[in-house]
């Protein structure tokens, strides 16, 4: 009796069925294309907020409107993720990725025509197109990893997929302060915006062409017996019933809340980083961008390392608890070192905070996939992200108001308390690894 036959029976497939599985080398090309596609979208998320003071002066808009360019990613995600998740489950990866790439490209080109100081509304419309397209990005990594990769690589593949989002955010932190100078001459600022918009539009267009030519929905054969079972379930799956089952899964609901707290706080810090750094270090716009870059690069390293750890140990809950606890500690240290007056210390602490807080992203995705199997990964991840966007909006508004009404110190202390609560919720998540129990 073949090993695949035994695994198929253990995975719930009827004994009369013959299961053939294969892992294709093309999976790495598919994953690489997705990483670039994800980066092309997320690089635009923070491109205004990280140069908030320049945007306010050039377009003559309030700080709230600049913050909204970041929050619009969160606001639009909430209503659009449900139809996006349905389309992902119904029509597959290729369809979802093409739709997202088209929307991202259209939005980037609209912004090319918004360089004039009186055309902030145009740039916001273009940015909203990109924000809506994000719904076809964030929930894909777990799905892509499960569809294309075998059981010993699925967590690493998911972490690399999330890496693409972080890579884009890193680019968004780094280049806007370099390309758009803080000059008194508005013509110089306008030239910087024009260069930035054209570069982004050209890059997104190139990625769209690559996706149309080379990106495939799924391999001819499933990479594992468990994925074969899920393919059959997906074909007859009722999307609404799947959502209902997720909302009755206690472990998943606990993860939903704890994940949303952690990542929502990361969104708030990223959105307001320019304001935080400039309060302690006036005139350091480029440092604010580089500190953001440091957070994300450290997080990319954390994501990959955590993915490898999960594939080697399959200790999903234990890894999640550890990462969450160190995120909490990192936030405490970040809170009480900002006012020391040494910019290099901020860089070091930000790297530690980013390693754990951003490194938590793929860990949460993978634990969700374990807790909810055999529900579609895209649906579980999409709902996870939807709640996260709600918390991101709440924490961004709360954080900004606390900074204005009290101080950076007390605003950060409130975030520390929220992270402590999230860490507690993580400890009581049931260690119910359904996907592992399906015997990949």
Q: In whole angstroms, what is the distance from residue 278 CA to residue 287 CA?
A: 9
Average pLDDT over residues 328-345: 86
pLDDT at 147: 86
Taking residues 265-277, report their average pLDDT: 84
Query: What local confidence, expressed as pLDDT, does residue 232 receive?
Result: 59
**Residues 135-187 pLDDT 10s:** 898 878 878 888 888 877 877 888 788 778 888 988 888 889 889 998 888 99
Cβ-proximal residues to 89 (8 Å cutoff; 6+ apart), any chain: 234, 237, 239, 242, 376, 378, 379
Q: What SS3 class is residue 413?
A: helix
Q: With the CA atoms of 324, 327, 328 and 331 taken in that order, what torsion angle do they form, in degrees rounded to the nearest 10?
A: -160
Residue-level pLDDT at 231: 59
Residue 38 banded pLDDT, cuts 50, 70, 90: very high
CA distance 235 to 20: 18
Give this prediction's pTM. 0.74
Peptide bond into 374 cis (omega under 30): yes
Q: Running DSSP on this structure, what letter comes out for residue 69?
A: H
Task: Give the per-residue pLDDT at 85.
Answer: 79
Q: Return mean pLDDT, the chain.
A: 84
pLDDT for residue 303: 80
- pLDDT at residue number 438: 63
Cα distance between residue 243 and residue 166, in whole Å: 28
Given this model, what pLDDT does residue 112 score? Answer: 94
Q: Where are the alpha helices (DSSP H) in 215-238?
A: 225-235
């Amino acid at each position: 009796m073949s090993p695949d036959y035994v695994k198929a029976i253990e995975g719930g497939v009827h004994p009369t069925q013959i299961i053939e599985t294969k892992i294709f080398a093309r999976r790495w090309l598919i994953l690489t294309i997705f990483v670039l596609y994800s980066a092309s979208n997320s690089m635009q998320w923070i491109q205004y907020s990280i140069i908030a003071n320049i945007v306010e002066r050039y377009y003559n808009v309030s700080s709230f409107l600049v913050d909204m360019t970041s929050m619009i990613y969160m606001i639009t995600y909430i209503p659009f993720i449900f139809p996006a998740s349905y389309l992902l489950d119904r029509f597959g990866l290729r369809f979802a990725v093409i739709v997202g790439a088209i929307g991202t490209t259209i939005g980037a080109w609209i912004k090319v025509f918004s360089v004039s100081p009186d055309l902030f509304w145009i740039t916001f419309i273009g940015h909203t197109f990109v924000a809506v397209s994000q719904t076809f990005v964030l929930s894909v990594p777990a799905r892509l990893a499960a569809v294309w990769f075998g059981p010993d690589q699925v967590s690493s593949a998911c972490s690399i997929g999330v890496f693409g989002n972080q890579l884009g955010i890193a680019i968004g932190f780094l280049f806007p302060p370099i390309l758009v100078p803080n000059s008194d001459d508005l013509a110089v600022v306008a030239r910087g915006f024009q260069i930035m918009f054209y570069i982004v539009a050209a890059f997104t267009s190139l990625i769209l062409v690559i996706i149309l030519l080379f990106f495939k929905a799924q391999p001819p054969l499933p990479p594992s017996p468990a994925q074969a079972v899920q393919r059959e379930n997906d074909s007859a799956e009722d999307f609404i019933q799947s959502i209902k089952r997720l909302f009755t899964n206690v472990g998943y609901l606990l993860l939903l809340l704890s994940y949303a707290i952690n990542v929502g706080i990361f969104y708030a810090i990223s959105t307001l980083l320019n304001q935080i750094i400039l309060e302690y270090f006036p005139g350091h716009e480029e440092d604010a961008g580089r500190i953001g870059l440091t957070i994300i690069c450290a997080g990319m390293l954390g994501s990959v390392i955590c993915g490898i750890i999960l594939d080697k140990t399959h200790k999903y809950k234990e890894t999640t608890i550890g990462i969450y606890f160190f995120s909490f500690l990192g936030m405490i240290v970040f809170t009480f070192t900002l006012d020391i007056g040494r910019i290099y210390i901020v860089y070091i602490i930000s790297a530690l905070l980013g390693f754990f807080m951003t490194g938590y992203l793929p860990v949460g995705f993978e634990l969700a996939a374990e807790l909810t199997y055999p529900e579609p990964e895209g649906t579980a991840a999409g709902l996870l992200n939807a709640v996260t966007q709600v918390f991101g909006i709440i924490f961004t508004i709360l954080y900004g108001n606390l900074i204005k009404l009290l101080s950076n110190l007390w605003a950060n202390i409130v975030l520390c308390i929220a992270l402590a609560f999230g860490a507690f919720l993580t400890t009581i998540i049931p260690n119910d690894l359904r996907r592992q129990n399906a015997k990949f």
